[in-house]
Amino acid sequence: MELRHLRYFAAVAEELNFTRAANRLHTAQPSLSQQVRQLEDEIGTSLFERDTRKVQLTPAGRALLKETREILRRTDHLVEIASSAATGKASELSIGVSPLAEVKIVPKIVPIMRERYPRISLMFHSIATGEQLTGLRDYSIDIAFLWGPLNEPDLATEKVLREEIVAVLPAHHGLAKMRRVSIPMLSDMPCIGVSRKAPPPLRDALVALCQQAGIRMRWSHEADSVSGHLNMVAAGLGYALLPEYVKSIMPRGVVAKTLHLDPPPCLNLYSVCRNGDTLPALSEFRNVVRECFAKN
């Protein structure tokens, strides 16, 4: 089945007349009739009831017409998108985001993009690290924001911002009243560890932090998401070490404290896209990101 078969079928179905449909399509009636018969042969049933006076859709034809119109509409839309992108008149940018990007990147970027580039439609996708990398490679997203460092030779990375790691504690704990806490102060508390399903840079940063402080943490539970860590802390199951942005999304009964370490432990967030991608909208978006986070 080819698109031309569906276009010929739709024309006849809407005109209910082969001659008018042929004129509409600027083709010969015998050719049109042949294309419709080929479609009927492939489907295995008649789509029209024909006699010398009129043409009517069969039940199968009525069912097919609804889906055919949607297929043709989507096909025409795809052509418009490709044509607009090629001429630079309009574009759509698909962006993979993590919780940090949703909190710190999106609110800064969106207003500027809307003002400067109203023709660019931004589509945000909250997906896990592995899915973002897959999405970049299969072209389902155009840019992602991921913890780094990353070792992906086929992808281009650029540091966007630096996040300190903070201690997240139950609000009723004695250390919650302190301005800063040291890692040894936490040694008597169970630590909510980072699952192996979480982004490797976060897990690696916590291991490095332990080495820097010269201690071994007692991991009593594990979580693979920031929300999981926060909920466990709120339930009194222990403390967690998380990026500083969690201060803006913490539930009741949870506080975040700066760690007393020099230098402070940090994580870097990177923008990631395909090497050599020449999509104009992507270039404009990356320039706005650089402008917004130039001092980070």
Answer yes or no: do 144 and 77 share one domain.
no
Contact residues for 108 (Cβ-Cβ < 8 A; gap 6+) = 292, 293
- Tens digit of each residue's pLDDT (9 = 90 or more) over 7-56: 888 888 888 888 888 888 888 888 888 888 998 888 898 888 888 778 88
- What is the secondary structure of 196-241 as a DSSP string? TTS-HHHHHHHHHHHHHHT----EEEEESSHHHHHHHHHTTS-BEE
Contact residues for 110 (Cβ-Cβ < 8 A; gap 6+) = 122
Give the pLDDT confidence score for residue 110 in this predicted structure: 95
Answer yes or no: do 95 and 143 share one domain.
yes
3-class secondary-structure state, position 3: helix
By the 8 A CB rule, do 282 and 93 touch? yes
Per-residue pLDDT, averaged over 171-189, amounts to 84
Q: How many domains does the chain have?
A: 3
Q: Is the pLDDT of residue 111 over 90?
A: yes
Give the pLDDT confidence score for residue 154 in this predicted structure: 92
Residues across the chain: 296
**Band of pLDDT at residue 296, cut at 50, 70 and 90:** low
Compute the mean pLDDT over every residue in the chain, rounded to the nearest whole number.
Answer: 86
Answer yes or no: do 129 and 65 share one domain.
no
By the 8 A CB rule, do 132 and 144 touch? yes
State phi, psi for 269 to the nearest 5 degrees.
-100, 135
Q: Are strands 155-170 and 254-259 parallel, antiparallel or unpaired?
A: antiparallel
> Domain boundary residue among 87, 109, 142?
87
Q: What is the DSSP letter of 281?
A: H
What is the distance between the alpha carbons of residues 160 and 176, in angstroms, rounded to a whole number? 31
Per-residue pLDDT, averaged over 61-86, amounts to 79
Answer yes or no: do 180 and 237 share one domain.
yes
3-class secondary-structure state, position 88: coil
Answer yes or no: do 141 and 233 share one domain.
no
Answer yes or no: do 189 and 214 share one domain.
yes
**Band of pLDDT at residue 267, cut at 50, 70 and 90:** confident
Answer yes or no: do 135 and 99 share one domain.
yes
Answer yes or no: do 178 and 243 share one domain.
yes
Rg over alpha carbons for the chain, rounded to the nearest Å, is 29
Of the ranges 53-67, 186-200, 252-266, 272-286, which one carries the lowest mean pLDDT score? 186-200
What is the distance between the alpha carbons of residues 282 and 276, in angstroms, rounded to a whole number? 11
Give the pLDDT confidence score for residue 182 in this predicted structure: 84
Give the residue carrying structure tokens 């009831």.
49
**What is the CATH number for 59?**
1.10.10.10
Answer yes or no: do 171 and 255 share one domain.
yes
**Band of pLDDT at residue 215, cut at 50, 70 and 90:** low
Give the pLDDT confidence score for residue 113 in this predicted structure: 94
Q: Which amino acid is at 7?
A: R
Per-residue pLDDT, averaged over 208-232, amounts to 77
Answer yes or no: do 132 and 276 share one domain.
yes
Give the pLDDT confidence score for residue 191 in this predicted structure: 85
Answer yes or no: do 95 and 69 share one domain.
no
Answer yes or no: do 112 and 25 share one domain.
no
* Sign of torsion over alpha carbons 272, 277, 278, 280: negative
**What is the CATH number for 134?**
3.40.190.10
**Band of pLDDT at residue 195, cut at 50, 70 and 90:** confident
**What is the CATH number for 209?**
3.40.190.290
Range(s) of the domain holding residue 65:
3-87
- Tens digit of each residue's pLDDT (9 = 90 or more) over 279-295: 888 999 999 999 999 87
